[in-house]
Amino acid sequence: GVPGTIRHLAALEKPRICISAHGDKVSLRTETSFKNFEISFKLGEEFDETTADGRKVKSIIRLDGDSLVHVQKWLGKETTVKRQIVDGKMVAKHTMNNVVSRRVFRKE
């Protein structure tokens, strides 16, 4: 898992998420005070991703109704991030095994 110190710092961070579409490609950019990262992908197509914490994963992102569902797989593990707009805010629900976290982002 992620070391406690990094988890604590991440909890204090207020990241900025930018999602944009260019033809059939989608970009998801995350900006924080200590690191920025971006992924570009086609919906429904698997791609290689290096996560913010340095893991090398196989990812696939698809639309499921009104949600953007991002599945990451590595070393026999799997995590899912489900992003959707609720009351004008983006809610990101992270799930791994039986652990679920939820983060709410508001539009600038």
SS3 60: strand
Is residue 49 within 8 A of residue 66, CB to CB? The reply is no
β-bridge pairing 16-22 and 25-31: antiparallel
Could you tell me the pTM of the whole model?
A: 0.86
Q: Which domains does the chain have, with CATH numbers?
A: 4-106 (2.40.128.20)
Specify the amino acid at residue 103. Answer: R
Q: Provide the b/e sequence for 42-55 (b: ≥16 CB within 10 Å).
A: eeeeeeebeeeeee
How do residues 34-91 score in pLDDT, each as one tens digit?
A: 889 999 999 999 999 999 888 999 999 999 999 999 999 999 999 999 999 999 999 9
Count the helices and strands in the chain (H runs, E runs).
1, 9
Phi, psi of 97 (to 5 degrees): 55, -125
